[in-house]
Amino acid sequence: MEIHELLQSISRAFAAVPRPELSLRQFWLTDQKGMSGTITDEEWKVAAVARTDQNWSDLTAAEIVFYGCQLAHMGASEFCYYLPAYMSYSAQHTGEPLVGNEILGSVLFMLQPSKSHPSHSHEQYSGLSVAQRACISSFLEFVSKRGNEYEQGDAFRALRHWRQPPAVLAMFRKLFYGVMFSVALLPMSASATSCIFPQVTDETVSTAADVFVFRVLSTSINEQAPTERGHALARGNIRVVEKLRGHASYTAFEFSPHPGCGDRFVVGHYYMAFLPAGTGQFQASGANVLDLTTGYREGIDNVRWNPGFRAVSEAVAGKAPLSQLLPPQDRSPLEYSPAPPPPPEPSNHEEHGVLGLMNNCRCASIYPHSALNFVGSREACCAEVDKAVLTGLLRESLVPSAGEPYSPGLVQAYVCSLCAATWLLELPDRASGSWARVKASSRAVR
Question: Which domains, from first to last, does the chain contain?
Answer: 3-163 (no CATH), 202-330 (2.40.50.120), 350-442 (no CATH)
Q: Per-residue pLDDT tens, the chain, 446 aa: give them.
A: 789 999 999 999 999 899 999 999 999 988 888 777 888 889 899 999 889 899 999 999 989 989 999 998 899 999 999 999 999 999 998 876 544 467 888 899 899 888 767 778 888 998 888 889 889 988 998 988 888 777 787 888 888 788 654 444 444 444 444 444 443 444 433 333 445 668 899 999 999 999 999 988 877 776 555 555 445 678 888 999 999 999 888 999 988 876 556 777 877 778 999 998 877 899 998 899 998 865 677 777 888 877 788 889 999 999 999 998 888 777 776 655 443 444 444 444 333 333 334 446 788 888 888 887 766 677 778 778 877 776 678 887 766 655 555 555 567 788 888 778 888 888 765 557 788 887 543 333 33
Distance between CA 249 and CA 273 in Å, rounded?
12
* pTM, entire model: 0.43
DSSP state of 336: -
- Listed in sequence order, the residues at least 6 apart from 137 whose beta carbon sits closer than 8 Å to its beta carbon are 159, 162, 163
Helix axes 149-162, 375-390, angle to 10 degrees: 30
Hey, what's the torsion of the CAs at 431, 87, 107, 161, to 10 degrees? -90
Distance between CA 307 and CA 293 in Å, rounded?
12
Distance between CA 351 and CA 291 in Å, rounded?
34
Question: Using an 8 Å Cβ cutoff, are 264 and 336 in contact?
Answer: yes
If one counts every other C-beta atom within 10 angstroms of the C-beta of residue 161, the result is: 18
Distance between CA 152 and CA 374 in Å, rounded?
15
**Cα–Cα distance list, 34 to 105, 231, 251, 313, 415 (Å):** 23, 54, 43, 23, 41
Phi, then psi, of 83 in degrees rounded to 5 = -55, -45
Hey, what's the torsion of the CAs at 394, 395, 396, 398, to 10 degrees? -100
Phi, then psi, of 405 in degrees rounded to 5 = -60, 145
**Cα–Cα distance list, 317 to 295, 321, 328, 332 (Å):** 20, 10, 19, 21
Question: Using an 8 Å Cβ cutoff, are 61 and 39 in contact?
Answer: no
Nearest to 409 by CA among 160, 234, 150, 220: 150
Distance between CA 186 and CA 193 in Å, rounded?
9
Question: Using an 8 Å Cβ cutoff, are 288 and 273 in contact?
Answer: yes
Which pLDDT belongs to residue 181?
42
Which pLDDT belongs to residue 440?
43
Which pLDDT belongs to residue 393?
81
Give the angle 311-315-321 at the CA atoms, nearest 5°: 110
Nearest to 287 by CA among 256, 313, 330, 245: 256
If one counts every other C-beta atom within 10 angstroms of the C-beta of residue 371, the result is: 12
